Copies of this chain bind each other. A is one copy, B any other.
Amino acid sequence: MACVPRRSATAVAETRAGVLDAAVRRASVDGLEGLTIGRLADELSMSKSGLFGLFGSKEELQVATFEAAVEHFTREVWRPVARREPGLPRLLALVDRWLSYHQRRALPGGCFVTTATIEFDARPGPLRDAVARARRRMHAALEADLRAAIDAGDLPASTRPADVAFALYALASAASTAIQLDEPGARARARRCMRGLLGAG
């Protein structure tokens, strides 16, 4: 890829980005704990210590990888629908975008955020804090659009935004799992369920 000794500022950024890209892909399959500095270095034809020095510790590598994955998700799912009008239209577009993110296997191991969340939800530490933070951010964004939809009269006033956000998130995660397990019709099923929550057929 790059000849061995090259360290300009942009080259370093490229190295880091390349490492994180590979780390996200690997960890989506094996989990953040299954991530290994040695294997990652091999895949990138780097030395273990070189890669290690880039992050300082395995935990920092894990945190950086998780944040790169969140960024990936945001870029692939959230950003493309950001310009739609807030409220129900954007939510419906988001659902489609979200499910096709899973369906086309944007990451080989399915929804990274869900994987990491389940992996660390019972183990205190920086990783658990990071996944909790990402989850809250996701929920808040969903709730904001749900409230907009209620205000616009597109959803009944009795709708509880937090409940629907929770359910949408749950269904999207489960859709990823079902797709990974090759269950036929998983995406269509999840789509029906999610649209049902949003009052659409």
A residues at B contact (CB < 8 Å): 28-31, 33-34, 108-110, 114-115, 117-119, 121-123, 128, 131-132, 135, 160, 162-163, 166-167, 169-171, 173-175, 177-178, 180-181, 189-190, 192-193
Chain B residues near A131 (CB, 8 Å)? 181
Distance between Cα atoms of A162 and B135 in the complex (Å): 27
Is B181 in contact with A166, judged by CB distance below 8 angstroms?
no
If A132-B181, A173-B173, A173-B174 touch, whether A29 touches B166 (CB-CB below 8 Å) is no
Chain B residues near A114 (CB, 8 Å)? 118
Is B166 in contact with A174, judged by CB distance below 8 angstroms?
yes
If A122-B108, A170-B171, A171-B170 touch, whether A31 touches B33 (CB-CB below 8 Å) is yes
Looking at chain A's contact residues, the main secondary structure is helix
Whole-angstrom distance from the CB of A193 to the nearest CB of chain B?
5
Number of copies: 2
Is B122 in contact with A29, judged by CB distance below 8 angstroms?
yes
What 7 A-B pairs come out closest when comparing CB atoms? A170-B174, A121-B180, A109-B122, A170-B170, A29-B122, A167-B193, A118-B118
Distance between Cα atoms of A92 and B14 in the complex (Å): 54
Distance between Cα atoms of A192 and B164 in the complex (Å): 10
Among A114, A122, A166, the most chain B Cβ lie within 10 Å of the Cβ of A122
Distance between Cα atoms of A135 and B177 in the complex (Å): 11
If A166-B193, A193-B163 touch, whether A180 touches B33 (CB-CB below 8 Å) is no
Chain B residues near A29 (CB, 8 Å)? 122-123
Distance between Cα atoms of A128 and B123 in the complex (Å): 24
